[in-house]
Amino acid sequence: MANSDPSRTDRPIAGRFFPAALLGRGGMGEVWHCRDRVAVEDVALKRVAPEDSCGPVGDRHRREFDHLTRLRHPSILAVKEYGIDPRDGARWFSSEVLAGPVSTELIGTLSLADWLEMSRRFLRALAFMHRNGWVHGDIKSDNVRLRRPLRPGDSPDPVLLDFGLCQQQGQPPEEKILGTPHAMPPEQWLGERPDARGDIYSSGVLLYQWWCGHLPFEKKDRSQMGKAHLQEDPAPLKEFRGGLPEAAIVIIDKMLKKRPDDRPHEAGEVLALLERVFPSAEEGCVVESGPSLVAQLRYPGVGEELPRLVLDQIFRVKDVGGVVLHLHRREGDRRKISNRVEVELMSRGLPVLGVDAATDDPIQDVIRSIPPGSTSVVIKVDDPDSATQTMQQAMQTTEVLGCKLIWWLHCSISPGGFLGELLAMRSHRVICTDDGAPIDLAEWLAMALPGANVGSKLHHRLQCWGAGSPSIWERILIGRVVAGDLAHDGRRWIWQQPNSHPEDRWRDRVVEQVLHLEENNRSILEALAIVGAPATASEVATVAGIDRGLVPSVVSGLVQKNWIRLDGALHWREPFQAEGVLVAIDPGRRKLMHERATGLPQRDALDRVRHEMSAGNTDQAALLLEPWFEDEAKRTRDAVRLASVLTPLVDLLRDHTQARWADLLGQVEDQLGNAAQRDRAWRVAANWHQRGTLTALRLARLRAHTTRRDGDPQQALEILDDASESSPSQEHEIERERILVAIERSRILRALARRGATSAPILQVEVGEDAQDLVEEALLERCRCALARGARLQAIDLARQVIDSPAAEIRVRHIVEAQCLRARAMEDLRSLRIWSRWHRHLCLKELRREGSIVAGIQAAEASLRLGEGALALSEVTGLIEQARLHCRGQLPRALLLMARCESGAGWIRAASRCLEEALTLDGSAGIVAWEGNLLVAASEWAAGRPSTARQILEATPVHRAPHEKESVDVHGRHLILESRCAFSMGNPSEALSILDRGITSLRLRGTDRDLAPLRRERASLLERLGQSAMAQTERRRIAAGVIPEPGTDPEPVGFRRARKALDRRGVLLRRRQHQEANRYLEVAALDALRLRAQPMSTLLTLERNNEAAPAEKERIALSAWRRLLKLESREGHAAVLLWWAKAREEAGDDVAGQRLRQAALREVDRWRLHSPAGTRWRELATLLGVADLASGSVFDMGGRSTSLA
């Protein structure tokens, strides 16, 4: 690497960068301060040696540049160009020059104000990354540098560097442990993939070091460093330097928690905590600064599809040279597309040269800029309309000095002038990216405002004014940030609702300008606003009422004045211009124009409705809307536009027909998810309905259905009760509606039963001959009620009736739902998952959102019970968001499932958040409360507090579970957990007794399938106690064909995984595969860390320190014993005592060692006294982890062998 020698800085790097000083050198290459002769500016150049460029280091270097181009933020390094030196293959990228010091040079010397400002700006950059799903992965003081030297009175401006290990969350790590040891979080030491909580830990190390000048753990040996991060507490900050407020120290301590779940979830949460301690003095700043929020709004860009189209065209001419013309009307979007394309070209090793279209000698400019050794270059020409004849001649050149030239022109329309002549004569590739939207608005908003709830008015404005343009969406939202209408508190978006918004001035400017136009110009614009773009010149002339012969000249003038554009029809230059013109039209003239527009041929029916209403012809408008009243599919397809015309129609109608259209408007708004508008429309309709009529009953059912679906079944029941009390009529025509009301009432009562407010209902409704199409609906609801009451045989029979019904042949959805219910009744989880997924697909196809969400939750629950927790978690994550938007009544069920998944994996804090939200929705007596208590009890047991867990279980007995009859497995989970608590307290006999009582009580009301989990648990316990014969007998009692259901085991999944890892480790140790065995030790340690499983963590600590020095072993043993004594569980006592005895014996203290061995023997004897007859001492010692302690004797040998089954 010739250029890396500081003594030879006269040689340019990559043929263009003249090095001035070496700024740093590390494992990822070197960083030079250079002068770029092409861009004529100073840059920082990060270069990878040729021998490393083709390996992992080179790939990481390229990814770093790509990540930095996406993560543009004021406090993140700004990169410029990327390239591969054609002469030796060395990779490089250039960036801004940071003149300030590395933050390591400032540690321990910062004032409180400077420390706070450094922390704030750094955390804003990290919060920006975390909001968008990125993890830095290597946060340390060397990777933060100031943009300029820190002088008295100046605020520090830190910049986050080194994104070589940066990745999006959820991606697998490159290697087992990759990072900086002194700042790596505990879980990364154990091989866990990095996430935002790992960044929080490393940031805690950084903030700690910035203030006091020391690291939390200062160990020289890497293994000792790992142990410190995993087991030790950092030294208090006050020991090194005082002056930091106690509340700030608490925040840093929280960031340095060992368990990821105990730390703040992301950097925005730390910012919010810091803001409470040190409120910002910046006016209008709510935690996040304006520039930081602007960076967030610019993050989505234009998506990936349109840049890919341009890239494909460029690479097709890479080897031959030529011209590629990229057309995109909007300059802002075109610039974003070209920037993304330029980044991709550079990262693939294809140099991009910028050339001014008006230059005097373009070929010479290109020759001076071509990197030596390049075989192809892309020449980017901005503003091609200003090109000279010299540029025209230059673009006919496809090769210079053996290098292929690819001329890349990008503009709004095909260029004219000299380049237009050239393109007319010569073949070229044209790619127009105007044809489709760069990115869907909903997708863009999810990236620009992650987690935000965008109001309908803003959404409508973005949709109408933006017209599919991300650059316009960006401008509107940035304007609101600058005006203070949009802010962020670190965790959520904060919306202000002023009377006007910054973008309103665009419309106001249009109103002012249109009033000063000539009459014909104004008439054309008014007509285009009335008709709607795009429109033909003939249509506009008709509505404007002017001579068609004048239209061409008038339109030409408006095009030149940037009012409209021609693209086969007349279009607005900017969509907001239409709204401004409409505001300026006189009401009388507007009505006249709408009357003219009603006569236009071949216009859309909904447009005609709009014109008829605006012309005052409401009856004709209602007549045109009749097809949508009858056709549900048509309503669904045109819901947005239909709502926009129904709303004014309902307001204009003043007779009884208003109720009919208000009813329809309510249904359409419900489809769109606009609850407030829906309820308003139905209130209007209810004012016209007489009690007891068919329309009143139908509206009451619709209102009750949506109220239940939105999560208020009690209110829904009141709505139905009120309608039923006022509907005594038994007229023939309302019988069908009465059946539907009865079915809806049953659904409401089932929802209340899940909340513990009532018992499961029994649907009693007779379906007459005139309503045979409702037979299947009634049978399905009766089947659901039977399941809720625990009548599974009845449910199977009812489901079979639907499946075998001749009338059901054309209702595939009914058959599939019946199969789901049948599988639930038979506890056939695999079939239930398959049928539920199919049912969800059919419901989505028919736009039945509630049905699709219920089916999805049901499939995820089946996956969890089958032990596929990761799959269940991935399925339920999307369902929660759907339930929030469309079906809040199912949200508690989805959140509970998420809590079970998170708790099982060890993320207790995340599970708690889900449970808290679910409890606020479901109440304190429902299924969520009961299941939540079971999860808490399981966590307490895993943490070594079985007595506390049993108290929780006793406070929530099984008979109080609202779903006790529906789901017999609640008995099994409750009893298994209670049995394990008894065992952990050192009483195996009581543990077996609990299982026996459960089997006896369930035998009378359950099936052999329901008893299987309890029998498996009993067999496992007997086997562990050495009673293999009895265990084998118990296993034979399990019904044939009953598959194991890991999801019915209340034990956290992480705890089970840790136990299996330790069992596997034992096998590998016996095979002398020590290295592989240690990997399983790390897996178990990670799960124990997450779950706070103190007994297991203590034993793992001993295992990891088997090779430690005697003095260190003594300290560890004493610490472990003290920890165990604070716990309620007796598991691990004997193992710690024996390990301690061995440590004393190694140190030469045989007397103390013997005493400790005797103590371990007494602990085993204590367990023996509380074990069932026939338990072998050796197996019991093995179970307690002290197999090599002593004796192989058997207590109670020859005594009575009691059968406990």
Q: pLDDT below 50 — which residues of the chain?
A: 1-7, 176, 283-285, 808, 1191-1205
Q: What is the pLDDT of residues 1129-1188, one digit of tens each?
A: 999 899 999 999 999 998 889 899 999 999 999 999 999 899 998 888 888 888 888 887
For β-strands 376-382 and 352-356, DSSP reports them as: parallel
Q: How many C-beta atoms lie closer than 10 Å to residue 2's C-beta?
A: 8
How many CB atoms within 10 Å of residue 457? 10
Write down how long the chain is.
1205
pLDDT number for residue 1199: 35
Contact yes or no for 572/531 (Cβ under 8 A): no
Quick one: pLDDT at residue 7? 41
Report H helices in 537-575: 537-544, 551-560
Helix (H) or strand (E) holding 412: none
Asked whether the bond before 534 is cis by omega within 30 degrees of 0, the reply is: yes
With residue 5 as reference, give the H or E element that holds it.
Answer: none
pLDDT for residue 733:
64
What angle (nearest 5°) sits at the alpha carbon of residue 1062, between those of residues 1061 and 1067? Answer: 95
CA separation for the pair 152, 414 (Å, rounded): 55
Q: What is the topology classification, in CATH, of domain 505-603?
A: Arc Repressor Mutant, subunit A (1.10.10)
Compute the Cα dihedral for 538, 543, 548, 551 and give only its sign: negative
Does the pTM surpass 0.85? The reply is no
Please give the pLDDT value at position 732: 59
704, two tokens: 């009750």
Structure tokens at 352: 């991009």
Q: Using only the alpha carbons of the chain, give its radius of gyration.
A: 36
Q: Which CATH superfamily is domain 98-279 in?
A: Transferase(Phosphotransferase) domain 1 (1.10.510.10)
Are the C-beta atoms of residues 501 and 485 closer than 8 Å to each other? yes
Could you give the 3-state DSSP secondary structure of residue 353?
A: strand
Correct CATH for 302-432 of 3.40.50.12060, 3.30.2310.20, 3.40.50.11740, 3.40.190.170: 3.40.50.12060
Q: How far apart are CA 776 and CA 1133, in angstroms?
A: 61
